Amino acid sequence: MKKLFFIILLAVALFSNSCNDFMEFPPAVSFNIDSVFSKYTNAMRMVNDMYNYPIPLNFDTRTFGSNGTRMGGGSFASALTDEGQPFDVQQGYQVQRYYNGNVEPSTCASWYSSYKGEDDYEQKWITIRKAYVIIDNIDKVPDGTFPTNQGISAANQKLRIKAEAKLMIALVYFEMLKRYGGVPIITKAYAVTDSKETMQAKRATFKETYDFINGLLNDVMTNYVDILPARTTVATEFGRFPMAFAYALKARMELYAASPLFNTDHPYSSALGENSNLICFMNYDKERWKKAADAATAAIDYCLANGYAVVDDATQRDNANNYTVANINYPYKGNTEVIWGVAQLASGNWAFYNQIRSLSTYGTYGYATNLVPLNQVERYELKSNVSGQYKSWDNIQSYNINAIPNGTSAIDGGKLVAAVARKPYEGLDPRFYASIAYNGLIDYGTEPYIDMADAWIDGKGKPDSVFTNLCGGQGTRKSRVSVLHYVRKFNRGWELRENSMVPLNIYMRMAELYLIRAEALNEYAGPSAQVEADLNFIRTRSGMPNVQTGTNQEQMREIIAHERNIEFYYEDQRWFDLRRTLQSEKKIPVNIYKIAIKKWYREPTNNWPYKITYEKQLYSTRVWYNKWYMNPFPSQEVDKGYGLIQNPGW
Amino acid sequence: MIEFNKMVLLKKIGFGLFFSICITGNILAQTITVKGVVENESGMVIGNAIVKSATSTDTCDIRGRFKINVERGAILTVSKESYMSRQVIAQSALTVVLRENSGEEKVDLLFGSQTSKELTTSVSTLSSKSLKNNTVLAFGNALYGRIPGLNVKQADGEPGDDYPSLLIRGKHTFTGSNSPLVLVDGFEREYNTLSTEEVESVSVLKDAGATALYGMDAANGILLLTTKRGIAGKSTIGFKVETGVKSPTRIPEFYGSYDYARFYNMAQLNDGKTESQLLYNATKLEGYRLNSDPMLYPNVNWISESIRQYAPSKKYFLDFRGGNDVARYYVNVGLENAEGIFKNTDRGSYNTNRNLDRMNFRSNIDVKVTKDLSIRLDLAGRLEDVNEPTSSSSAIFNNLYNFHPNVAPIFVAPGVYGGSNSYRNNPVAYLNEQGYKKTHRRYFQSNIVANYDLSKFVKGLEIGMRATFDNYYSVTDGYSKTFAVAEIRDKVYPINSLTFYGVNGNMTASGPTNESEYRRNNLEFYTSYQRKFGKHSVSALAMYRQSEYITGPEFPVRRMGVSGKISYGYNSKYFVDVAANYGASENFIKGSRFGLFPAVSGAWVVSSESFMQDITPISYLKLRASTGLVGNQNIGGTRFGYRNLYTSGGVEQTAGNPYLTWEKAYKTDLGIDITLFKNTRIMVTYFNEFRDDILNSGDVLIPSYFGNAFGYTNYGQVRSNGFETAIEHNQQFKNWGYYVGANVTYVKNKITRMRELTRVDTYMYRQGQPIGQRYGLIATGLFQTQDEIDNAPTQSWGKVIPGSVRYKDLNNDRVVNSNDFMPIGKDATVPDYDLGLNVGFNAYGFYVDANFQAAIGREVNLRSDTEGAQYCVAPLYGDKNVSTFVKNPWTPETAATADYPSLSIENAANNFQTSTYWLRNGDFLRLRTLEIGYNLPKTLISKMLLTSANIYVRGTNVFTLDHIKYFDPEVMEGYPVMKSYNVGINLKF
């Protein structure tokens, strides 16, 4: 018996020894933070991931139709203003909620909802967290794992990654600043072990947030010279931040900070009372315009000294090819103008859905999700020797087609019709043809022309389907869209070659620096030779005449705003330009016009129309509420109860 | 040494058998020698009882045996402390059953047992006697309405897969598991594999005091099953044979072709079709009506073609029980067969019907190796073979319920199944021509227990260990084939050619597939102490336990901890227990794995006080109270939610929460036990539980500048409370007797804290509502006119036509959408009141036993995936069949009397939103078992060497009273709930 007793005791001793291991999960085979930073290639995956959808961009990586672009399925933010319009089939798009005035903080941006608002608030913090994790951990990566072929030391490669992460934080904060005003200032990646009590950051004031961003930018500009490359021209590095971007971002931020929405002691709404400093400086300081102009000058100088230049081949001005190169080419393909941009789509397909007409068999109205109201077409100047001349679209216009000889081939006949169809669009700012597709455009080489017209018969009106194949069947009628213009800016010359081109999201290009300086100087001291020179520089490279001289400050302000609208058309600027200049209340709630195009046939029918008519028609109207000057925080976020103060009116 | 012991063991067993046969002989004329055994109600012998006649007295030995010489017909009085005395008429062979005094019944607990008087906690028990009138394939089905506080939820009736689900005192958490811990002989195990015959007792441990030894596994209560063990001094052989039939309680009915076509046309008219566009013209209708041509106008009742009314089942059970001072044994072997209810499934070399064959066995051996050391060795297992059609039963039934009567005849030519391009799943072929599969399951359970009595050192001290090894394996072999259907070309008759769809394939074998296995190992060391010092009784227990559950390649589920319990009693009046567990789960981060779970409970036996002695109606009165903390480590969310991982692409995944912890259940119980007039027992318990730290989605709590999805945090709280009451009354006279037992459980719960998304309206919040509250629209009737529709708020689910369901626009925004869903109806799983009623009557050997279960305060949504009968209540839309549930759908003509929305083919989504329109009173009363039997008189059977013999007729789920009518009120889809009728013989040697 003693033996048994002993055995039991022994067993007890054995088991109690193994207690600690008994409950312990075996060594992780899965990736954790240590494995991410165990070698360069792993760490770079996280760096690449940091660049993945950091801020709302026109072409984002996510799938069309689900979360899609930030408008909830296809339309760019341009559709919030009169420069854009989504196709009207899809009433579920988030942008349609703006047209109804039906935007609620509860349906904007959240992890829980498939509807995104204009912004994806939570995604901002995800990117910031990634940046801080990289800053905190990149030093752990063993030096020996860094590539050595470019002769850059491992230490400098780590510093470069840190500088990028800091710039990323600055960028994301700026994107929040312009939408929300001040936001909580987070200076680290919270560890999961940080208790809830430490996560009680309040909203910082607008100035604190502005200072925080400035601090990051100055840090990068002073401490990472010669470490962060001034410009990236290597194909594989496109998308990573160059040093020039720090300068450019600073110029843009100073412009915003100087603008009336923020540079004021009278915010657009007094609803926040003593907390109004969350959404503006709470003082007006004219010197902020000077700062913006200086920052733009510094950025221009830095860029020029480092191989950047506004694309301007004198032989390519009149056909706006300079403009197209600046908007769609990679740096290593001659685009010296792009400062930072990314190519996020794996294939060009989504770009075509998002941007231009559908080229496949999707219905007669296509799936083009970004269209152009007549309002924008009307804003393109006539190309003449004098600036400020416009075409009138107000009255119905009719264009006769000369009799087409019998026996003409379908293609030739179609081209004759197209030549007439194009007539209303003749003689405009070359940037119009680079930006917008229109009736009669032969968009790529010898392909059929784009036919957006409805067939009509004299005295009988619109027939059902008799004319589907008239016009030789050559017109791509299926491309008709509701307002009858669409965007071609981002794939001009690449139309129909859907998959072979991955469109760029250009966040900033050098042309903007000139227009920032022109605006800032005009606001600081009124029109000057420098203001005109900057404007004319941008206009000249697209074949447009100089601006009128002798204008006053207000007239010049309009000219500059107009120039930004044309130059940065569909580049995600107008919605924010109108807000920062407090112009939204005048320019957003307007009538939206379309063009109605009819091809007229005689009875009895023959193969060819005899005239084409254009008629300006009211398409819809838009609304504006002053609370829209700032984005709402998602109400789910406010409801978490840690003290996030919602913006006025939401 | 081993050999010798075995010899002794065998001899002793042999002697026991021999003795039990001998005692039946020896009858004298005037003075007889009465040899007998004294037992308690559960068949355990009672030693040292005193047997008295007018002339002599004998005291039983420790095996309960006595021998006394008396005159024939004399009255014997048998008495024993803590038992009620009993008088019997002398016979040569006697088995005297004594009933414990109130408070002296043995109650099996987590570790050992207590008398009910000593018991300070909330425990309800069911003895083997109460289990025996059940015919069930899964043990859990014997528990409906039997134990207050135990809610048993019917599963479908598929033989071998009909395990019910259990809840103790309702639901307590909205994220974690609500399932109680189930222990068999003290260890976590599958209990449904046990047969009712081999179980000695079922205990339901409900409050913190009773369950504290299991710490963080105990919060949902514990169901404890104890199997039978050998009894020294009395050997019995039991044999039982039972045979019967099973039949669906209710099965939905569907219209024939004529009515189907009429309803179809009606729906098309509602959808805006004109007379000429209708699918069924007058000729076709007439064809269906006259049933003139079964080829051209088929009218098939697919259910009656595929389902038979009765499915046979049988059962054999043999057990041996006995032993002596050295060794005791309980051994059983059982065989069971149950067939499925599919029809015409014999395919020659194989059968596609469901068929369950099962063998189970148990061998529980107790050996006293020395005076101080005793060893227990238990082996039990079950082998199961399940034959079934290739498609799952739910798919087969759904296909049956979905297939229209007029699609095609069963056969369009001899051996050629009817069908069409769109309708290829001819239900008869779907069942019979797709092959079959065989699943083999093996369960094995074993216990080894060693107990060493240290009384020679310290009186009352014991140490010991318990180890268990369980094993389960299941595998499926499949044999499948495809089949073709044929359509009569152009529906022209006579048939001159057929168009075939699909291929009659050859049988292909697959497998082994669906392999699954698990192992469960437990190890315990314990020391216990029990002693009485005068009026003081003290007992203490300390134990260490570790367990692991290993399934597949995953990290085993592991638990370890120490538990202790100290009980103190004074003068058999006052009792106090303190119990605690300090235990760990592998599911939490190192350093935060262990938790302490204490509980304290006390009881006061008021009836033992001197001032109560004169109050004769109250023979027993006890007050008890307990309070304590137990936990639930089965918290939901992902396993190992504390870990922080990245993808190989460097993307951080949902942040692990290292603070994740178990749910905490703070429980308080107050109870009173009363016995009136010695034969009426009343138990009332009030209980209250506060469950804290229930998982809540972290994303609604953590600021988004955390920058990552957060998973879960412990945030939620639920309060639940209610009462249980049970009343038992029994009366046994010389030749007849009766008993009545009733129990009622009332539970309610409320989510008192839950962080949720901002809801558009306050009525949408889950906080403040019960767990699992159903949300739906308020139906205000049917639209009568297009005008009414035009003026009403817009309803957001497709077309709305006259006769569509009209809903209330709760927030008055002129749109009825997902923002108009509010809490509707009561829980379908846990009723407000769970009732059980058990009654019995016996006379001259005949007896009747009946067990009723009722649920009051329950509602079901007929259209829900989980509760309802959607194949039956949603006709036509989605190409569904039309069941007889649809009686009088809305049309302009029937508007006044319509009891169903207007039919539609195209889109009836509007009508089938979750709403009060489909909500029905789900209350029911079920006669769960009814047994009528006859116990053959001892005088007769003793000549056949029998100690008892009984024959019986038994029904299960005999009838149901409810408001649902068309389908079973508990399970409305898939394999139907079954009722059964059995006859059996039960012999004891």
Buried/exposed B344-365: b ≥16 CB within 10 Å, e otherwise: ebeeeeebbbbbbebebbbbbb
Q: Helix, strand, or coil here: A399?
A: strand
Q: SS3 string of B457-502?
A: CCCCEEEEEEEEEEEEEEEEEEEECCCCEEEEHHHCCCCCCEEEEC
Closest C-alpha to B867, from B918, B921, B828: B828
Asked whether residue B635 carries a pLDDT value surpassing 90, the answer given is: yes
Question: To probe the interface with A, which of B372, B652, B659 has the most A CB atoms within 10 Å?
Answer: B652
Asked whether residue A466 carries a pLDDT value surpassing 50, the answer given is: no
Asked whether residue B749 carries a pLDDT value surpassing 80, the answer given is: yes
pLDDT of residue B291: 85
Nearest to A192 among B585, B646, B656 (CB): B656
Sequence-distant (≥ 6) Cβ neighbours of residue B478 within 8 angstroms: B390, B435, B436, B437, B438, B509, B510, B511, B513
Asked whether residue B544 carries a pLDDT value surpassing 70, the answer given is: yes
ipTM above 0.90 for this complex = no
* Shortest CA distance from B759: residue in chain A: A106
Q: Helix, strand, or coil here: B71?
A: strand
Count, residues in chain B: 989
- Is B523 near chain A, with CB under 8 Å? yes
Please provide the average confidence, as pLDDT, over all residues in chain A: 83
Question: To probe the interface with B, which of A173, A192, A193 has the most B CB atoms within 10 Å?
Answer: A192
* Shortest CA distance from B557: residue in chain A: A23
Q: How far is B563 from chain A (nearest CA, A)?
A: 15
Given a contact cutoff of 8 angstroms between Cβ atoms, the answer to whether A647 and A630 are in contact is yes
User: Pairing mode, if any, of strands B327-339 and B106-108?
Assistant: unpaired
Spatial separation of the C-alpha atoms in residues A283 and A499, rounded to whole Å:
51
| Cross-chain residue pair A201–B708, CB shorter than 8 Å | no
Q: Which helix (H) or strand (E) holds A294?
A: helix A287-305
pLDDT of residue B756: 82
Spatial separation of the C-alpha atoms in residues B183 and B736, rounded to whole Å:
37
Q: Which residue has the higher pLDDT, B942 or B686?
A: B686
Chain B, 620-649: which have a CB under 8 Å from a chain A CB? 640, 643-649
| Cross-chain residue pair B544–A111, CB shorter than 8 Å | no
* Alpha-carbon dihedral sign for residues B907, B912, B913, B915: positive
A495 band by pLDDT with thresholds 50, 70 and 90: low
- Is B988 near chain A, with CB under 8 Å? no
**R_g of chain A computed on alpha carbons:** 29
Given a contact cutoff of 8 angstroms between Cβ atoms, the answer to whether A448 and A485 are in contact is no
Asked whether residue B953 carries a pLDDT value surpassing 50, the answer given is: yes
Spatial separation of the C-alpha atoms in residues B599 and B214, rounded to whole Å:
11
* Bridge partner list, B240: B317, B986
Given a contact cutoff of 8 angstroms between Cβ atoms, the answer to whether A390 and A382 are in contact is yes
Nearest to A636 among B593, B700, B709 (CB): B700
End-to-end Cα, chain B, rounded Å: 33
For the ranges A313-317, A598-602, B783-787, B830-834, the lowest mean pLDDT is seen at A598-602
Beta-strand ranges (E) seen in B116-228 are 123-127, 150-153, 165-168, 181-184, 187-188, 199-205, 222-227
As to burial, measured by CB atoms within 10 angstroms (0-12 exposed, 13-18 middle, 19+ buried), residue B314 is: middle
* Bridge partner list, B51: B58, B78
| A514-518: long-range contacts, CB 8 A cutoff, minimum separation 24 | A514/A296, A514/A300, A514/A310, A514/A538, A515/A560, A515/A563, A515/A564, A515/A567, A516/A251, A516/A252, A516/A255, A516/A292, A516/A293, A516/A295, A516/A296, A517/A251, A517/A292, A517/A293, A517/A296, A517/A297, A517/A300, A518/A560
Q: What is the pLDDT of residues B402-413, one digit of tens each?
A: 899 998 899 988
Q: Helix, strand, or coil here: B174?
A: coil
Residues from chain A contacting residue B709 (CB–CB below 8 Å): 111
Spatial separation of the C-alpha atoms in residues B842 and B932, rounded to whole Å:
10
Given a contact cutoff of 8 angstroms between Cβ atoms, the answer to whether B710 and B654 are in contact is yes
**How is residue B914 written in tokens?**
């979750």
| Cross-chain residue pair A112–B706, CB shorter than 8 Å | no
Question: How many Cβ pairs within 8 Å bridge chains A and B?
Answer: 133
**How is residue B146 written in tokens?**
């039997």
Spatial separation of the C-alpha atoms in residues A107 and A632, rounded to whole Å:
10
Residues from chain A contacting residue B704 (CB–CB below 8 Å): 121-122, 125, 634, 637
pLDDT of residue A113: 43
Asked whether residue B11 carries a pLDDT value surpassing 70, the answer given is: no
Sequence-distant (≥ 6) Cβ neighbours of residue B43 within 8 angstroms: B128, B231, B234, B236, B321
**How is residue B362 written in tokens?**
């148990």
A351 band by pLDDT with thresholds 50, 70 and 90: low
Nearest to B758 among A5, A201, A635 (CB): A635
Given a contact cutoff of 8 angstroms between Cβ atoms, the answer to whether B852 and B836 are in contact is yes
| Cross-chain residue pair A112–B699, CB shorter than 8 Å | yes
Residues from chain B contacting residue A25 (CB–CB below 8 Å): 555, 586, 640, 643
- Is B29 near chain A, with CB under 8 Å? no
| Cross-chain residue pair A31–B648, CB shorter than 8 Å | yes
Mean pLDDT of B636-657: 85
Q: How far is B706 from chain A (nearest CA, A)?
A: 6
To which residue do tokens 């309802």 refer?
B868
Residues from chain B contacting residue A45 (CB–CB below 8 Å): 648-650
Sequence-distant (≥ 6) Cβ neighbours of residue A586 within 8 angstroms: none
For the ranges A258-272, A559-573, B608-622, B667-681, the lowest mean pLDDT is seen at B608-622
Count, residues in chain A: 650
B920 band by pLDDT with thresholds 50, 70 and 90: very high
* Shortest CA distance from A203: residue in chain B: B705
* Phi and psi at residue B34, to the nearest 5°: -90, 120
DSSP A504-567: -EEEEEHHHHHHHHHHHHHHHH-S-HHHHHHHHHHHHTTT-PPPPSS--HHHHHHHHHHHHHHH
| Cross-chain residue pair B705–A125, CB shorter than 8 Å | yes
* Phi and psi at residue B771, to the nearest 5°: -60, 135
Q: What is the pLDDT of residues B160-186, one digit of tens each?
A: 888 999 999 999 999 999 999 999 999
| Cross-chain residue pair B525–A8, CB shorter than 8 Å | yes
B51 band by pLDDT with thresholds 50, 70 and 90: confident
Q: Helix, strand, or coil here: A169?
A: helix
| Cross-chain residue pair A19–B644, CB shorter than 8 Å | no
Given a contact cutoff of 8 angstroms between Cβ atoms, the answer to whether B151 and B126 are in contact is no
Q: What is the dihedral of CA B281, B286, B292, B298, to 10 degrees?
A: 50
| Cross-chain residue pair A125–B704, CB shorter than 8 Å | yes
Given a contact cutoff of 8 angstroms between Cβ atoms, the answer to whether B345 and B339 are in contact is no
How many C-beta neighbours within 10 Å does residue A234 have? 11
* Shortest CA distance from B653: residue in chain A: A32
For the ranges A61-75, A102-116, A127-141, B813-827, the lowest mean pLDDT is seen at A61-75
| Cross-chain residue pair A31–B708, CB shorter than 8 Å | no
Q: How far is B450 from chain A (nearest CA, A)?
A: 10
Chain B, 723-762: which have a CB under 8 Å from a chain A CB? 757-758, 760
| Cross-chain residue pair B652–A186, CB shorter than 8 Å | no
pLDDT over 70 percentage in chain B: 96
Given a contact cutoff of 8 angstroms between Cβ atoms, the answer to whether B508 and B479 are in contact is yes
Residues from chain A contacting residue B649 (CB–CB below 8 Å): 45, 49
Q: How far is B756 from chain A (nearest CA, A)?
A: 9
Spatial separation of the C-alpha atoms in residues A353 and A126, rounded to whole Å:
28
Q: Which helix (H) or strand (E) holds B86?
A: strand B86-89
Residues from chain B contacting residue A42 (CB–CB below 8 Å): 650
Q: What is the pLDDT of residues A427-452, one digit of tens each?
A: 999 999 999 988 888 766 555 677 77
| Cross-chain residue pair B649–A201, CB shorter than 8 Å | no
Q: What is the pLDDT of residues B318-341, one digit of tens each?
A: 999 988 889 999 999 999 999 999
| Cross-chain residue pair B560–A48, CB shorter than 8 Å | no
Residues from chain A contacting residue B648 (CB–CB below 8 Å): 31, 45
Spatial separation of the C-alpha atoms in residues B667 and B218, rounded to whole Å:
11
Q: Residue A250, Cα to own-chain centre: how many angstroms? A: 18
* Shortest CA distance from A196: residue in chain B: B702
Residues from chain B contacting residue A106 (CB–CB below 8 Å): 758, 760
